[in-house]
Chains A and B, each alone.
Chain A
Amino acid sequence: MIKEENLVYRRTPLMTDATLSYCPGCGHGTVHRLIMEVVEEMGIQQDTIGISPVGCAVLAYDFMDVDFSEAAHGRAPAVATGIKRLWPDKFVFTYQGDGDLAAIGTAETIHACNRGENICIFFINNGIYGMTGGQMAPTTLEGMKSSTTPYGRDAMKMGPPFKITELIAQLPGTHYVTRHAVHKAGLVRKAKKAIRKAFEIQQEKKGLAFIEFLSNCNSGWKMTPNDSNQWLEEHMYPFYPLGDIKVDGKLVKDVCKDLMQKSPVTT
């Protein structure tokens, strides 16, 4: 049975041998691997440049075997713009968390999307600041506890959670905007197809492809990995529904309505 000819799945060699610095069960590793699987399948390792963020994925360049530039907090879309403008035929992607992309880097995100930079943005939304110890993120749900909202996020004081994905989908520069999750096998396969599509859009120079991945942060949420994935489905799905938001440059959802949706209060 354990023979080369029977091999149906192995870790892509485009992931380095380094042990991932992520907590057990964290979705970051899965998304890293999916991106590298697509790069491997498209045969574009020699032409791919990644931009890593500040946050848990700051060391993403240790794990993905492609050229990388590490950006200051939130500035990845600007860094990607600089690279892509000088290497228009290379594949450039940013990999960013919710604090990086939707708080400190909001301006860079929105303007790169508005200009339609021909890049891929991969956005991990786990509703919390993981690396700094579980503080409130722009995407933290109402009522959700974090180390800076120990009594739950109060929308009156801290504002409601921010759906940046629905926001940038309305900009003319974005060609493909979609939301996925990676904690179940079926979802992983769909997410990988979306990543492939994003890189193909870049190849065809059609504009910016933006994928949000809902992920757990079991350490920050203080749950076991499987419990956190369950919690993700129960609490994040209703506010951050999975599926395509914009396809081929056309909105496929009523994003204005989605943006006005009141966050369910979680405890």
Chain B
Amino acid sequence: MAKAKGAIVVDVERCKGCEVCVVNCPTDVIGMTEQVNTKGYHYAYMKYPENCTGCTNCAVVCPDGAITVYRVKPQ
């Protein structure tokens, strides 16, 4: 069975840069941007998108609900 493939979309303005998603990602997908959002926070992004399995761990621990997760299972 093929590995599920996923992607996350971060609501940049909602992200407060707490990095809790970073340590919760089992495949080390997430990094923090150099640039900041309008509130001055570095925000999460997919640094290694090819590793994302769409497991939703990052989204469920995000206190601000800033992460949306997509996943496709290869046919």
Contacts and interface: CB of A to CB of B under 8 A. Distances in A.
A–B touch (CB < 8 A): the answer is yes
Interface residues of B, number: 35
Nearest to B5: A1
Given A25-B18, A188-B61, A2 B24 contact: no
The B contact surface, by secondary structure, is mixed
A242 to B, nearest CB: 16
Contacts of B24: 184-185
B61 A183 contact: yes
B61 A33 contact: no
A30 B21 CA distance: 12
A2 B70 contact: yes
B14 A225 contact: no
Interface string B1-19: 0000111010101101111
Given A225-B18, A226-B20, A22 B63 contact: yes
Contacts, number: 92
B59 interface: yes
Contacts of A20: 63-64
B23 to A, nearest CB: 5
Contacts of A86: none
Contacts of B69: 7-10
Interface of B: 5-7, 9, 11, 13-14, 16-20, 22-24, 41, 54-72
Interface of A: 1-3, 6-12, 15, 19-20, 22-30, 33, 182-185, 188-189, 218, 224-226, 229
